[in-house]
Amino acid sequence: MKTIVLASNNKHKISEFKEMLPDFKVLALKDVGFFEDIVEDGTTFLENSLIKARAITKFLNEKGKKALVIADDSGLCVNSLNGEPGVYSARYAGEHGNNVENRAKLLKKLKNKADRSAYFVCLLTVMNPDGTYSYVEGKTFGHITPEERGNTSFCYDCLFYSDELKKTFGEATDDEKNSVSHRGRAIKMLIEKGLLN
């Protein structure tokens, strides 16, 4: 079974990758002993994804470990807010990973907006031990609901109403969400293009 190191310790994200890549051994950063903070100071999803992929690949090479690295940078883009929160989705309200505050800020900024259309983006970079890489981008479209619906544990899922599922991601099962999600589509592209071979 081929090993992939995912540039993340996010339990939810790791479980999604494991579900969608059952033929691979998916390792988190903690599994390979990487505990450093990576400064994601890029202005695009691709830049941030590459920053993570390069840092992990360098670390693995220095340890004499050869593995394929996947780095994911993803976020929510709201059209009437000029693409906000975008690359700042995880730290929209200031503190990284404060989902409650991030959602509160988003709802406040959309209070008087008629256009609540939005989309999620997932940029996946696959990096080989020699530093060569490929990337794919997955998107899924919908709009932001005026109130939270369903499971509130993961990012903006309870506010994102999927055009295809006709419910929020927070109300969807894992299988339903994975079938149309930005991450699900990006992973599918990786497989279809043979980038994990």
Tell me the catalytic residues. Answer: 73
CB atoms within 10 A of CB 19: 14
Exposed (0-12), middle (13-18) or buried (19+): which is 39, by Cβ within 10 Å?
exposed
With tokens 């780095």, the residue in question is 71
User: Are the C-beta atoms of 88 and 75 separated by less than 8 Å?
Assistant: yes
Exposed (0-12), middle (13-18) or buried (19+): which is 46, by Cβ within 10 Å?
middle
Structure tokens at 89: 């989705």
